[in-house]
Chains A and B, each alone.
Chain A
């Protein structure tokens, strides 16, 4: 069974919604959870589901297509592009995490939290099941 393609967005962040969608897809595909050939919801479906302006969705899809993550097929739903059948190397996946962690590291320094306490918190978060994040 493929993992169903479902997106979540967080409002109130400095990350625009189209980039949240792009990052989620890149991570899920890199992790091998969303696989080559899996169909994406249409712009309409996703815009209505998330209650988001349709141009935001089409912008994310077009950029992902340009980066080679998605494939457009005439008259059919977009799919995860071939070449993403297997999870990416761990090294590549770690690189995708770098910007988020770099931001967290900078904030920890600003708050003056010692590294061991930060790592302790991160460890705890890694082992906590994801809460039902607001959509």
Chain B
């Protein structure tokens, strides 16, 4: 254990207290605006990630998940707004803060002409901390050959290598953009276990975008829904499943539901939170929602 490191959060995910004078949040985003060629993508987005939280980021194709994660990492300049990581502006992170971040991008950014062993040796030189035992164990377990050029590895092998690279320096913040898209179900499960272990051992803050809802349901304690260029809702998933109701019925009846309880208004339905089924006017039908149904109405 390195005493200079933030102590592992006891991952209660409910907003940890600042320790050792650190800011409370790993990520603070305020009023983020970002678009391409006049097409707005992020429109005044606010977001907080607390230390030790594992947050699943959900959104339709084209909603701007990758843009948001790239802006979060300081890889894109926003047109307005502010992004801070560990209390520092994301665009001007010092090396120490940079070394605390692990990133698995959606598109592979590995150097294709290098071999896996050369790539890892190269990255190792950048980081003050590097868990070689973990790297070796994962390479073996995930069967990534060290002596083949990366360009000749399969998509799944490249993705595993990208994950190993992102975990090797034991980051405090792990940003994963569709990290499992090319992995088979067993490799995905093994990857999720690795993530759970990071959370258990180090209290790592994780933000994770994926379309594989079953993975998200397992490891994400919190879910954030990206819609209309903002985080429409972020909440603990179990509380949402417990409390959210999808109510359907005639629009005039739906319109009489108290605004404070309405999370979303797709045609003919409302997503409610904080209202018991017994409190609903007659003529409306309520159903509890699965994550997939929440995804449908909230994104």
Given contact pairs A14-B241, A56-B221, A59-B238, A51 touches B213 in the complex (Cβ within 8 A): no
| Cβ A47 vs Cβ B196 within 8 A | yes
| Cβ A53 vs Cβ B291 within 8 A | no
- B9-22 Cβ-contact flags toward A at 8 Å (1 or 0): 00111000000000
Docked complex Cα distance between A14 and B295 (Å): 12
Docked complex Cα distance between A15 and B244 (Å): 11
Interface residues on A, range: 20 to 34
A54 in contact (CB, < 8 A) = yes
Docked complex Cα distance between A59 and B11 (Å): 12
- A43-54 Cβ-contact flags toward B at 8 Å (1 or 0): 010011011111
Interface residues on B, range: 20 to 34
Q: What is the interface of chain A, defined by CB distance below 8 A to chain B?
A: 9, 11-19, 44, 47-48, 50-56, 59
- B200-234 Cβ-contact flags toward A at 8 Å (1 or 0): 10000000000001100111110000000000000
Partner of A14, one of B192, B197, B290: B290
Partner of B219, one of A12, A16, A52, A59: A52
| Cβ A48 vs Cβ B196 within 8 A | yes
| Cβ A17 vs Cβ B289 within 8 A | no
| Cβ A50 vs Cβ B218 within 8 A | yes
Docked complex Cα distance between A18 and B242 (Å): 10
| Closest A-B pairs by Cβ, 8 of them | A11-B214, A16-B238, A51-B192, A14-B288, A16-B241, A53-B221, A11-B217, A14-B290
Partner of B242, one of A11, A16, A50, A53: A16
With both beta carbons as reference points, the residue of chain B lying nearest to A110 in the complex is identified as: B285
Partner of A53, one of B196, B213, B214: B196
